[in-house]
């Protein structure tokens, strides 16, 4: 069964269309990333998925339960870490976690055992009895995560879980996400950090201006662009294809008044082309490389519009 099945989600604020016809399907057991620049509509989508915000159109099912028809049953399936955490400053870390556990109807003994284990996992044991108001941002975020995972939710939803965290907190958060996934939780996270999405997710939806522009595995997303990796060059006079092959530069094709050399190593190709020009007494009029990293894919996909 799919952990999340959202179809045609749409939300307007006044006349402004924040999310437009967004559909996502997340198979049980996967880590799914929602990648997009600031203002893309990630948080608005998450709020609709978690039943905080009612969509203008579209529907959401969490493990088959319609969030609109049966919000409580759907919410019991989720652990949510919202964009601006929701921990109580006037309670200690431990109290926050125990309160959440109680809310989810966990038995006292289970609550205490699991709270203890999770505090340890998130590096908070030393400070568990201190008020959250005395905590740093990274520590607060970890308390927020502890609350979201206390009931071992089948679906864990994190809105920018690592933004603004130092290396240590970030590591703990990422390790926790991975471990929860290994222990059976399906994970949905949003980020504008491409490397993070790449490192964690099996599939990524790229969102921009409220619409999904691509849904792929990180590798596929990169490959789509890798296959079109090339160096483009033009010389001061006409040359023909055998000249390239004689210089061990395969995959050269005429492209307008230029040549395109497809390659998986643009650096080496550029050097070979310069050597060729040198040897043949050619002047290079223009030379350019395409540079398809995942970042490039992301920028291309989210550019313009």
Ligand X SMILES: Nc1ncnc2c1ncn2[C@@H]1O[C@H](COP(=O)(O)OP(=O)(O)OP(=O)(O)O)[C@@H](O)[C@H]1O
Site for Mg ion contains 43 (CB under 5 A): yes
Site for ligand X contains 40 (CB under 6 A): yes
Site for ligand X contains 13 (CB under 6 A): yes
Instruction: Classify the C-alpha dihedral 44-48-51-55 as positive or negative.
Output: positive
Site for Mg ion contains 191 (CB under 5 A): no
Q: With contacts defined by CB under 5 A, name the span among 2-10, 26-34, 40-48, 113-121 that binds Mg ion.
A: 40-48
The burial class, CB within 10 Å (0-12 / 13-18 / 19+), for 220 is middle
CB 261 within 8 A of CB 247: no
Strands 155-159 and 186-191: parallel
Number of residues that bind Mg ion (CB under 5 A): 3
Site for ligand X contains 36 (CB under 6 A): yes
What residues form DSSP beta bridges with 291? none
Residues of span 74-113 touching ligand X by CB under 6 A:
83
Shortest Å, Cβ 4 to ligand X: 17
Number of residues that bind ligand X (CB under 6 A): 12
Shortest Å, Cβ 241 to Mg ion: 51
Shortest Å, Cβ 47 to ligand X: 8
From the list 42, 142, 203, 229, which residue makes contact with ligand X (rule: CB under 6 A)?
42
The gap from C-alpha 299 to its chain's centroid, in whole angstroms, comes to 14
CB 229 within 8 A of CB 262: yes
- Closest CB to Mg ion among residues 196, 260: 196
* Helix (H), strand (E) at residue 98: helix 93-103
36 binds, among Mg ion, ligand X, none (CB under 5 to 8 A by kind): ligand X
Which residues have CB under 8 Å from 287's CB, separation 6+?
Answer: 231, 232, 233, 234, 270, 273
> Which letter does DSSP use for residue 126 in this model?
G
Q: Which chain residues interact with Mg ion by CB under 5 A?
A: 42-43, 83
Q: Which chain residues interact with ligand X by CB under 6 A?
A: 13, 18, 36, 38-44, 83, 192
């Amino acid at each position: 069964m799919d952990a999340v099945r959202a179809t045609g989600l749409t939300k307007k604020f006044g006349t402004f269309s924040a999310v437009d016809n967004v559909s996502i399907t997340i198979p049980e057991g996967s880590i799914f990333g929602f990648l997009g620049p600031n203002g893309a509509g990630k948080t608005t989508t998450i709020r609709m998925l978690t039943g905080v915000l009612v969509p203008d159109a579209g529907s959401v099912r969490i493990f088959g339960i319609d969030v609109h028809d049966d919000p409580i049953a759907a919410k019991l399936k989720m652990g949510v870490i919202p964009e601006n955490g929701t921990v109580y400053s006037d309670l200690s870390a431990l109290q926050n976690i125990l309160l959440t556990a109680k809310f989810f109807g966990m038995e006292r003994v289970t609550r205490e055992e699991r709270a203890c284990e999770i505090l340890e996992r998130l590096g908070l044991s030393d400070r568990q009895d201190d008020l959250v108001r005395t905590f740093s941002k990274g520590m607060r975020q970890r308390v927020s995560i502890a609350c979201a995972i206390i009931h071992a939710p089948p679906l864990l939803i994190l809105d920018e879980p690592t933004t603004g965290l130092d290396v240590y907190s970030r590591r703990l958060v990422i390790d926790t996400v991975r471990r929860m996934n290994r222990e059976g939780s399906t994970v949905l996270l949003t980020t504008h950090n491409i490397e993070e999405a790449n490192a964690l997710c099996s599939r990524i939806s790229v969102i921009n201006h409220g619409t999904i522009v691509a849904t792929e595995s990180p590798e596929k997303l990169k490959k789509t662009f890798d296959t079109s990796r090339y160096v483009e060059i033009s010389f001061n006079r006409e040359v023909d294809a055998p000249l390239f092959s004689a210089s061990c530069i395969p995959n050269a094709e005429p492209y307008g008044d230029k040549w395109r050399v497809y390659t998986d190593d643009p650096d080496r190709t550029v050097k070979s082309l310069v050597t060729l020009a040198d040897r043949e007494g050619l002047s290079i009029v223009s030379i350019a490389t395409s540079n398809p990293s995942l970042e490039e894919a992301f920028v291309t996909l989210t550019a313009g519009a």
